[in-house]
Structure 1
Amino acid sequence: MGFPGTWMTESESVVYRVVPKCACSTIGQIMFYSDHGKFFDGDIHDAEKGLHKWAREDSQKLINANVKTHTSYAFTCVRNPYTRILSSFFDKICGIQRNGKRYRGNLVPLLIQKYGIEVGGDDGKEEFDQIRSFRRFLLFVRDTIRWRRPMEPDIHWSAMSGHVSTFIVNGGRYNKIFWTEAFNDGMQDVLSAIDTPHKVDLGSIPRFNESEGHGPKRAHPVEDYFDDMAMHLIYEIYRRDFDLFKYDFENPANKMPIGEIDLDEVHAKLGD
């Protein structure tokens, strides 16, 4: 299986396991900058050189050798499951993607037909009942994760613990897991622990939110989207994420973690 979703700088200064919807565009650009002294011109997910990625066949041997011997500092970044699933809905379901089309072709028409959701019209800009549509989307997410129908779970809403675990199961070990909600502190810890060809001044780095503007703006506070049934579904899907990464399941309004991530616990529970 190897190390899907793993990126590494060409200098091998650092290894990163991508978790979708968790600041991955900004992290990738920081890694690129730390090697080359400039940012990648475009969406870092499209970069085919300048950064080793498991999806590139020519990078796989190097990543495999590095990760299995724990040669470089390895990290990942996680996010509150409530805000992450909302972001996935507005970006991937309601939004027009950077290629000018809907995400995954027939996915949105399928959701409209089978689950009765609305997405704000052809361009995602019309008003619609966001709360009702989001809750119906949650049923779809649960169906994909629990029964793998009407399709396999998508990486943007499959559990973070699943992404994080493949790195461990195949022989990797994390030196750091930090929260998107405390991005500067966590990313600074990573940068302070490694040597890079180019120094990174985190304070001057822009945020590369590639999904910004794809879809409609969220019209309500986070907690308004989650009634008792929605919270039940969220816990069914993301229980491990709340437990391991110390987020507050009881209060969707609180996006901040309520404890410290225990790396030994993460490795023990996700290394099965």
Structure 2
Amino acid sequence: MGFPGTWMTESESMVYRVVPKCACSTIGQIMYYSDHGEFFEGDIHDAKGGMHKWALDSSQPKITRNVQKHQAYAFTCVRNPYSRILSSFFDKICGIQRNGKRYRGNLVPLLIQKYGIEVGGEDGKQEFDQIQSFRRFLLFARDTIRWRRPMDPDIHWSAMSGHISTFIVNGGRYDNIFFTEQFNDGMQSVLNSIEMAHPVLLEEIPRFNESEGHGPKRAHPIEDYFDDLSMHLVYEIYKRDFQLFKYDFENPGNKLPLGEVDLDEVHAKLGA
């Protein structure tokens, strides 16, 4: 299986396990900058050079060697499950993607037909009942994760613990797991632990939010999207994420974690 979703700087100074919807565009650009002194032109997910990625065949032996010998500082980043699934809905379901089309072709028509979801019309800009549609999307997300139907779960809403575990199961060990909600503090702790060809000043780094502007703006506070049933569904899908990464299940409006991540606990529970 190897190390899917793993990126590494060309200098092999740091290794990052990508978790979708958790600041991955910004982290990738920081990694690229630390080696080259400039940002990648375009979406870092499209970069085929300038950094190692598991998706590139030529990178796989280098990533495997580095990770299994723990030669570089290894980290990842997590996000509150409530805001992450909500962000996935607005970006991937309601939004028009970089290629000018809907995400995954027939996915949105399938959701409209089978789950009664609205997405704001052809361009995603028309008024619609965001709360009702999101709650119906949540049923779909649960069905994909629990029963793998009507399709396999998508990486953007499958559990963070699932992404993070592949790195551990195949012989990797994290030095740091930090929070999207406390990004500068967390990313700084990574940068403080490595040597870089080009120093990174985090306060001067733009946020590379590649999903920004894809879909309609969120019209309500996060907590308004989650009633008792929605919270139950979210817990069913993301129970492990809440427990391991210390997020507040009881209050969807509190996006901040309740404590620090216990790396030993994460390795013990996700490495089994």
User: TM-score under structure 1 normalisation?
Assistant: 1.00
Instruction: Report the CA distance between 1:78 and its aligned residue.
Output: 0.2
Corresponding position of 1:218? 218
C-alpha distance after superposition, 1:163-203 (max 9, x if no partner): 00000000000000000000000000000000011111111
Q: What CA distance in whole angstroms lies between the structure 1 residues aligned with 2:106 and 2:244?
A: 34
Task: Give the match's secondary structure for 2:242.
Answer: helix
For residue 230 of structure 1, report the CA deviation from its aligned partner: 0.1
Partner of 1:202: 202
Amino acid at match of 2:126: E
| Structure 2 SS opposite 1:234 | helix
| Matches of 2:119 and 2:59, distance apart in 1 | 38
The alignment partner of 2:183 has SS state of helix
In the alignment, residue 28 of structure 1 is paired with which amino acid?
G
Partner of 1:167: 167
The residue type equivalent to 2:90 in the other structure is F
SS at match of 2:178: strand
Superposition deviation, residue 80 in structure 1: 0.2
Write out per-residue CA displacement over residues 49-71 of structure 1, whole angstroms, 9 at most, x where no aligned residue.
Answer: 00100000000000000000101
Separation in 1, partners of 2:120, 2:271: 41
Aligned equivalent of 1:45: 45
Structure 2 equivalent of residue 259 of structure 1: 259
Q: Normalization by structure 2: what TM-score?
A: 1.00
Which residue identity does 1:240 align to in structure 2?
R
| 1:31-180 superposed matches below 5 A | 31-180=31-180
- The corresponding residue for 2:186 is 186
Distance (whole Å) between structure 2 residues aligned to residue 133 and residue 141 of structure 1: 12
**1:119-163, Cα deviation, whole Å (9 max, x unpaired):** 000000000000000000000000000000000000000000000
- Report the Cα distance in structure 2 between the residues aligned to 1:261 and 1:191, rounded to whole angstroms: 18
- Work out the CA distance in 2 between the residues paired with 1:196 and 1:53: 19
State how far apart, in whole Å, the 2-side matches of 1:71 and 1:161 are: 23
* Cα RMSD (Å): 0.3
CA positional deviation for 1:216: 0.1
Q: Which residue of 1 aligns with 2:250?
A: 250
Q: Distance in 1 between matches of 2:179 and 2:80?
A: 8
User: 2:264 is matched by which residue type in structure 1?
Assistant: D
Question: How many pairs are equivalent?
Answer: 272
Give the deviation of 1:260 after TM superposition.
Answer: 1.2
State the alpha-carbon separation in 2 of the partners of residues 202 and 255 from structure 1: 22
Consecutive unaligned residues in structure 1, runs of 5 or more: none
CA distance in 2, matches of 1:246, 1:223: 18
Provide the C-alpha distance between the structure 2 equivalents of 1:201 and 1:119, rounded to a whole number of angstroms: 38
- 1:259 deviates by 1.1
Structure 1 equivalent of residue 3 of structure 2: 3
Q: State how far apart, in whole Å, the 2-side matches of 1:207 and 1:133 are.
A: 28
In 2, the alpha carbon distance for the partners of 1:67 and 1:196 equals 19
Q: Which amino acid aligns with 1:124?
A: G
**Separation (CA, whole Å) in 2 of partners of 1:186 and 1:5:** 20
**Equivalent position amino acid for 1:29 in 2:** Q
Describe the SS at the equivalent of 1:193.
coil
Structure 1 segments of 4+ aligned residues over 3 angstroms from their partners: none
Distance 2:89 2:57 in 1: 31
CA drift of 1:252 comes to 0.2
Structure 2, unpaired ranges of 5+: none
Amino acid in the other structure paired with 1:95: G
Cα deviation code 1:24-43 (max 9, x no counterpart): 00000000000000000000
Fraction of identical pairs, as percent: 82
Write the distance in 2 (CA, Å) between the matches of 1:12 and 1:197.
11
SS of equivalent residue, structure 1 residue 39 = coil
Give 1:231's aligned residue.
Answer: 231
- In 2, the alpha carbon distance for the partners of 1:107 and 1:117 equals 11
